[in-house]
Amino acid sequence: SFRDNLRAYIEHPQAHNNVLYYDEDFVFIRDKYPKSKMHLLLMPRDPSVTLVHPLEILGKHRPLVDKLNFMVFQKLPDLIMKEARNSLFPDSDLSSRVPSKSLWDFIKLGFHAGPSMNNLHLHVMTRDHVSPSIKHNAHYISFNSPFFVNIDTPVSQLPVRGSLSYLFQQDVCCYRCDESFGRQFSKLKGHLSEELESWLQETLER
């Protein structure tokens, strides 16, 4: 099934060109259908965890959660900053004026509460959601509602598996200013582009 399509990356990382980094324990890849300017996936390779549900990982596999955080913040930060800069600022003049701190504040880390792909993957992505691969409200909602479970979520606040489908019927709201667009996807899309511009202006003025 298509749901197994991420398995190849952890089994044969050397065979794929959207692999940014791999070692014995992790593979770090670019999402093939990026839902933001930068959209990366960090995958543990251990066969005994790759098929464990992310909510169970967050609830019961705390050493692995710690390792994922270690990878992002200790092992891969330079690579992540480079990717963020290259994807947000194809024109590198601007990039040099944006401090890494601002970029980190614009990055989120989390799992989908109901993933479509079976092999465990942590989303490492910018908040903009400006991308041709955002094709309907559900795409946006899945990353901007409790369905996107931040890696920092306390165990006591994890959602109940299968309880969140109602979110996909709700109105879409801007992640940055909270304006609601009802169910009007094209209005949301236009606004997301404006918000990315506005974020850029603000980080440059600082």
Piece in contact with ligand 5GP (CB under 6 A), picked from 32-40, 74-82, 178-186, 187-195:
32-40
Count of residues near Zn ion by CB under 5 A? 5
Q: Which two tokens stand for residue 12?
A: 């044969």
Q: Which two tokens stand for residue 75?
A: 């092992």
Check binding of 29 to ligand 5GP (CB under 6 A). Answer: yes
State which of residues 12, 32, 135, 161 lies at the interface with ligand 5GP (CB under 6 A): 32
Count of residues near ligand 5GP by CB under 6 A? 12
Nearer to ligand 5GP, 79 or 117 (CB): 117
Check binding of 176 to Zn ion (CB under 5 A). Answer: yes
Q: Which does 116 bind (CB under 5 to 8 A by kind): ligand 5GP, Zn ion, none?
A: ligand 5GP
Q: Smallest gap, in angstroms, from Cβ of residue 178 to Zn ion? A: 7
Check binding of 204 to Zn ion (CB under 5 A). Answer: no
Q: Smallest gap, in angstroms, from Cβ of residue 101 to ligand 5GP? A: 26
Distance CA 59, CA 158 (A): 8
Residue 121 bears catalytic tag:
yes
Exactly one of 39, 53, 121, 191 is catalytic; name it. Answer: 121
Site pattern 73..112 for ligand 5GP (x: CB under 6 A): ---------------------------------------x
Determine the 3-state secondary structure of 112 from DSSP.
strand
Cβ-in-10-Å burial (0-12, 13-18, 19+) of 47 comes to exposed
Phi, psi of 169 (to 5 degrees): -95, -5
Site pattern 127..166 for Zn ion (x: CB under 5 A): ----------------------------------------
Check binding of 150 to ligand 5GP (CB under 6 A). Answer: no
Distance CA 152, CA 173 (A): 22
Distance CA 185, CA 26 (A): 36
Please spell the DSSP secondary structure of 127-196, one letter per residue: S---STT--SHHHHHHHSSTTEEETT--GGGPPPTT--GGGGGSPPB-TTT--B-TT-HHHHHHHHHHHH
State which of residues 5, 163, 165, 169 lies at the interface with ligand 5GP (CB under 6 A): 5
Phi, psi of 75 (to 5 degrees): -95, -40
